[in-house]
Structure 1
Amino acid sequence: MWFKHHSLITDIGATTQEARDISNKSRDIVSQIIKGNTLEDGVKKRCIIATGDPSFKDLIVFKHNPIKEGIKAIKQSCTIYTDIRMVQVGIVKKGHACKIECALDYGGNIAEEKQITRTSAGFLALGEQLNCNIIIIGNAPSAAITINDMIKQEIIKPSLIIATPVGFVNASNSKEYIRNLSIPSITSIGTRGGTPIAVAIINEIINRIVPFHIENSPFSTSMVGSERRL
């Protein structure tokens, strides 16, 4: 497994020798901060690398076996729905067959009619299409609140929610709402989070699928990166 020989493993997003060297050095450093080798430790390590902030080892919360549920959904070629395009474009496209869609492409009329955010309107418009799929919210607390309400109203039941909205208005509360649901989730605590964290989390989960899809690749056991140094 990659976590037993991290210095020999290369980020799948690193396509040159220099990039692989940088990736491996980053993993050597972060393994001194988090010495464990669980699935959760792997996600935390990726978040630290993505932000350069070791404090994130204490800021990521896992509820209801989310990593394994995420792996299961991705192996079944679920759709991944994001709140904003930065999250959508940051998700690695290798190693899986999932469609990656953005809520901003839906519900424009709802946003105008209800005078709500475009991300909230997009998720409302998607409705039952969110069932059994993965929802990622890296920026918009309003979207997390909307998803919480839709689940409580039994409109949707996603396979996994990754929620890391950042900021001082509703960000902390919105993530607490998600944590209190019975749905598998990965969230950041408090006002901190953002797109890099959301992308880091989903890319680390996707990495667990790579060996099943790229069996002959020399980097098939590599960790997926949220940052690409080409």
Structure 2
Amino acid sequence: MSKESSRHADTSTNTYIDPGASTPEAYEISKTSRTLARKMVGNETPEDRVRQRCSVAVGDFAMAELLRFHADPVPAVIRALKSGAPIITDIRMVQVGIQKKGHKSEIFCALDFGSGIAQERGITRSSAGFLALRDRLAGSVVVIGNAPSALLTVCDMVQDGIRPAVVIGTPVGFVNAAESKALLRTLDIPSVSTEGTRGGTPVAVAAINECITILIEESAS
């Protein structure tokens, strides 16, 4: 696997944890999947760990090759979560899927904001929500798994000077998904994205949850 950001300590000897696995059976399933993913994807960097988890989330190791890491996003997520920065998502599926243990960040969904803006401008509810949350975006962790329109809106705000700590942008589809992610990768902020039309909520959730798991491990060491 190519390494888009700086190398970190080898993770191959880490004791495997999964904060989301609440029963022995769930843990064993997760551990078995991760063991296979380590062999198939590699296990030298935090980025490899995100590749592993995203591949398991979609049941396809081809996903590992589609992930793009810009400006060292994994440490950026961890720093933001340590500071209690908010996590802002595009849809409720992403909000619900994010691991709640191991951090103190509040998780907002854009759909809960900006309904008036959506009606006034005739834009998507997720885009309107991010516009309404403009004052909370600085220093936040943005996680977009579904809506290319929301990612384009966030990119526009970044170009206007708003600075999230990191953007995880993996919207899926044939309308503006590839284009929005390509634009994200041109911006001078840390980001995780996927190449092309593939991606989706499972990928975005897996990426943020692996960062949370790494944070938990660091806190326990």
Deviation at 1:22, TM superposition (A): 1.0
Determine if the alignment matches structure 1 residue 33 to structure 2 residue 40. yes
CA distance in 2, matches of 1:16, 1:151: 41
Match of 1:123 among 105, 127, 130: 130
CA distance in 2, matches of 1:131, 1:181: 15
CA distance in 1, matches of 2:75, 2:120: 39
Map 1:151-190 → 2, pairs under 5 A = 151-154=158-161, 156-190=162-196
Amino acid at match of 1:164: T
Match of 2:199 among 169, 193, 215: 193
Q: Of the two structures, which has the highest relative contact order with CA contacts closer than 8 Å and spacing of 6 or more? A: 1
Deviation at 1:202, TM superposition (A): 0.2
Deviation at 1:212, TM superposition (A): 5.0
Map 1:1-230 → 2, pairs under 5 A = 3-5=11-13, 8-154=15-161, 156-211=162-217, 213=219, 215=220
Q: Which runs of 4+ in 1 moved over 2 A?
A: 1-6
Amino acid at match of 1:207: T
Q: Give a deviation string over 1:142-178, Cα, whole Å, max 9, x none.
A: 0011011111122x11000000000000000000111
Answer yes or no: is the 8 Å Cα contact 1:2–1:9 preserved in 2: no
Deviation at 1:2, TM superposition (A): 8.9
CA distance in 1, matches of 2:58, 2:31: 16
Aligned counterpart, 1:224? none
Q: Give a deviation string over 1:46-100, Cα, whole Å, max 9, x none.
A: 0011111010111000001111111100000100000000000000000000000
Amino acid at match of 1:126: L
TM superposition score normalised by structure 1: 0.89
Unaligned runs of 5+ in 1: 216-220, 222-230
CA distance in 1, matches of 2:61, 2:153: 31
Amino acid at match of 1:80: I
Deviation at 1:34, TM superposition (A): 1.4
Answer yes or no: is the 8 Å Cα contact 2:17–2:213 preserved in 1: no
RMSD over aligned CA atoms reads: 1.5
Amino acid at match of 1:205: C
Residues paired across the two proteins, number: 213
